[in-house]
Amino acid sequence: MSSADLFTRARQVIPGGVNSPVRAFRSVGGTPFFTESADGPYLHTADGRELVDFVCTWGPAIHGHNDPDIRAAVAAALSGGTSFGTPCPDEVHMAEAVVGAVPSVEKVRMCNSGTEANMSALRLARGFTGRDKVIKFAGCYHGHVDSLLVAAGSGALTLGQPDSAGVPAAFAATTLVCPYNDPATVRAVFAEHGPEIAAVIVEPYPANCGFVLPRAGFLGLLRELTAENGSLLIFDEVMTGFRLARGGVQELEDLRPDLSAFGKVIGGGLPVGAFGGRAEIMDHLAPDGPVYQAGTLSGNPLAMAAGRASLAKLEDRETYEALDASGQRIAEALRAEADDLGYPLCVHQCGSMFSAFFGTERVETFDEVKEADTERFAAFFHAALQRGVYLPPSAFETCFLSTHHTGPVLDRAITALAESLREAVRG
């Protein structure tokens, strides 16, 4: 069946025809395609097309799709069963791998998604500090956690509903929203509410409102203010953890948060999440402490096997250097094409993540993100898709690279993106 046929059927039995909103193409227009298989840097659609994929299953596929080592690890685990309801050896190995890679993490607990990891980290922060309020930043998305769907990014921003229906006002009232990259406001909020603030949660490099980088010293200020006020600093590294560096942004920035949330890469493409931090905080979790958190499939043997295989392929610095080199090539090509066109385009890139903001030359804040030309991005998206390159179907998402985006594949993609930019700008 064609993608159009499948989408028609899906809309009869699935809300909006999709199981995650941004997949519906609402912000770029058109009908979403359905993927039948994927391999390396390519998606193979129900319509018989082969697309170079810069979504990489929204981050996990750092080794490309259908990686043989990950597939073999899952197959071996599958031979022993799919779920036990007891601890399994790979849970221990996986926890040791995370603790060994991320200096701020002394203990870690596995869960099933990035949303669950952030939700659990927040509950733990509140339980540890005995406080209720949390600071988050406009445009940062930490999953569909009730109290954090306030000025959210990602799909919530794309669909024009950053404050979701179904979230009680009392929940939202515990969240204090600050502008990202605005030190003065954060200082003022701490001055007024310091003794009430359990934690600051932040995507250290926000990637759910496009890809935004911190101003010099901003993340360090968050570390200072939380320490001074007895609050915890939570880094949401669901996207950036093990992708930009083995130790994530906290390695790149040489900072140690109190708690961190992970997902995506550590699952090798299977459903997974994790949160960890200082032992004295993590020991407040049940069964040792009073903060309850549980999950039937947490530490699932298939996910643990896939995650271990994924992390085992990320132990050398050369892998990250190669990913960054590919990312730089794309960013430089887009900037050069925009310069030739005389068109303002802001391209942010770090390692294997990048995004382009149309119609502007500087994006450091959420307000500046919202000023970008989303209609021009939609034109760029469809021009690229027509040329066989799949980008995230939203101006407020981040592009991802894999280790397969090299050589002729990368050359082909760069040519297609440059041509698509030219078409989108000239109309």
Catalytic residue positions? 141, 236, 264
* Nearest CA-CA partner of 222 in 186, 261, 258, 169: 186
| DSSP 3-state of 294 | coil
Cα gap 410→181, rounded to integer Å: 33
* Nearest CA-CA partner of 48 in 104, 3, 89, 102: 3
Residues 154 and 397 sit within 8 Å (Cβ to Cβ)? yes
DSSP assignment of 142-186 equals: -SS-GGG-SS--HHHHHTT-SS-TT--HHHHTTEEEE-TT-HHHH
What is the phi/psi pair of residue 368, to 5°?
-70, -35
What is the phi/psi pair of residue 314, to 5°?
-120, 30
List, in order, residues 6 or more apart from 287 with CB less than 8 Å away. Answer: none
List, in order, residues 6 or more apart from 351 with CB less than 8 Å away. Answer: 243, 244, 245, 320, 323, 324, 327
* Nearest CA-CA partner of 262 in 237, 282, 280: 237
Angle at CA of residue 150, ends 144 and 156, nearest 5°: 55
* Long-range CB contacts for residues 366-375, cutoff 8 Å, separation at least 24: 366/137, 366/138, 366/139, 366/151, 366/153, 366/179, 366/180, 366/209, 367/179, 369/139, 369/209, 369/210, 369/212, 369/396, 372/210, 372/346, 374/27
118 to each of 39, 127, 146, 195, how far by Cα in Å? 30, 14, 11, 22
Residues 206 and 153 sit within 8 Å (Cβ to Cβ)? yes
Find tokens 């996910």 and name the residue: 303
Q: What is the dihedral of CA 212, 216, 217, 220, to 10 degrees?
A: 50
Cα gap 247→241, rounded to integer Å: 7
Cα gap 393→378, rounded to integer Å: 8
